């Protein structure tokens, strides 16, 4: 059975090569909608609309979720609201 926690664990393995942190911790993932065990919809953002890693990160997310048996992965991007560094990371970084 595919659960939100299982998907989150997979997302934590997808590391943004430029920042060096995973997409979940970075706050790139806004929503996880599990339609059924074979179909998941992800609403996400990136640091900017012109992010050069858009295609690469999307494919890495897709591959990570496929590893748990999900066959249909819809990845929708939004920039509303614009991405901001999560408060928990700001505190860890002393910002």
pLDDT category at 88 given cuts 50, 70, 90 is confident
Q: What integer pLDDT is reported at residue 95 of this predicted model?
A: 78
Q: What integer pLDDT is reported at residue 93 of this predicted model?
A: 76
CB count within 10 Å of CB 12 equals: 14
The residue written with tokens 């640091």 in the block is 47
Q: What integer pLDDT is reported at residue 83 of this predicted model?
A: 94
pLDDT 10s digits, 46-79:
999 999 999 999 999 999 999 999 999 999 999 9
Q: Is the pLDDT of residue 90 over 90?
A: no
Three-state DSSP at 2 gives coil
28 Cβ contact partners less than 8 Å away, ≥ 6 residues apart: 16, 44, 45, 46, 57, 83
Domains of the chain by start residue, with CATH: 4-82 (3.30.300.130)
Q: Is the pLDDT of residue 82 over 80?
A: yes
């Amino acid at each position: 059975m595919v659960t939100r926690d299982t998907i989150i664990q997979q997302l934590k393995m997808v590391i943004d090569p430029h920042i060096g942190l995973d997409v979940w911790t970075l706050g790139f993932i806004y929503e996880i909608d599990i339609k059924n065990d074979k179909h998941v919809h992800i609403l996400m953002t990136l640091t900017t609309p012109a992010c050069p890693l858009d295609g690469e990160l999307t494919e890495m997310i897709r591959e990570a979720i496929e590893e748990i048996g999900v066959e249909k992965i819809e990845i929708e991007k939004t920039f509303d609201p614009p991405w901001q560094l999560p408060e928990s990371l700001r505190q860890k970084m002393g910002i």
